[in-house]
Amino acid sequence: MNHEFDGCLLTEVPEHIENMHDNPEAVGKEALWYMKNNICNNIIRATMSEAIEGTIPEIELAYTLLQHLDEKFMKIDKSKSHALSLEFSTLKYIGVGGVRDHVLKMECIVNKLKELDFVLPDKYMVNTVLQSLPPIFNQLKSSYFAQKDNWGLISS
């Protein structure tokens, strides 16, 4: 983006703009700043989906609009991580497809949680995967609990 617009996106109304009302020569600079702010605001709104735009109130300053969006999406991230963690902890293998596919599905959920800064301890992940398996896999569970070493779900 053009550096001329950075001031509108990174700060609220700069102090030198707020104090320009006393100086008639500076009014042009003030009008230019507000014009750039308006352009930034329009670009932000034009790139939003209609579903999101309908939930955002009219906000005059681009900086304040970005702050509002940041707060709103932080709430969405929290609810998404809650839903994913609930899915991970309640998912059960029902015998359809292979066990490997089931474990990979659970690993995929863990990776999505990591992207949302919701990191689960390795021991919890392995125990949850083992608990998600039906009784036919009790021998595998017993083998894990009898070992001295801990397994990891994700090898990275």
Domain positions in the chain = 3-72, 91-146
Rg value, the chain, Cα: 26
Q: How far apart are CA 146 and CA 140, in angstroms?
A: 10
The reported pLDDT for the residue numbered 85 is 92
The reported pLDDT for the residue numbered 25 is 61
Q: What is the mean pLDDT of each run of 10 residues along the chain (156 residues)?
A: 68 64 65 85 86 82 86 77 92 89 93 88 90 91 82 58
Q: Give the Å distances, CA to CA, from 100 to 14, 25, 88, 96, 124.
A: 57, 72, 15, 11, 18
The reported pLDDT for the residue numbered 156 is 43
pTM: 0.52
Quote the DSSP letter at residue 54: T
The reported pLDDT for the residue numbered 26 is 62
Tokens of 28: 């042009």
Q: Give the Å distances, CA to CA, from 20 to 33, 47, 61, 106.
A: 11, 32, 18, 59
Q: What is 112-132 written as a DSSP string? A: HHHHTT-PPPHHHHHHHHHHT
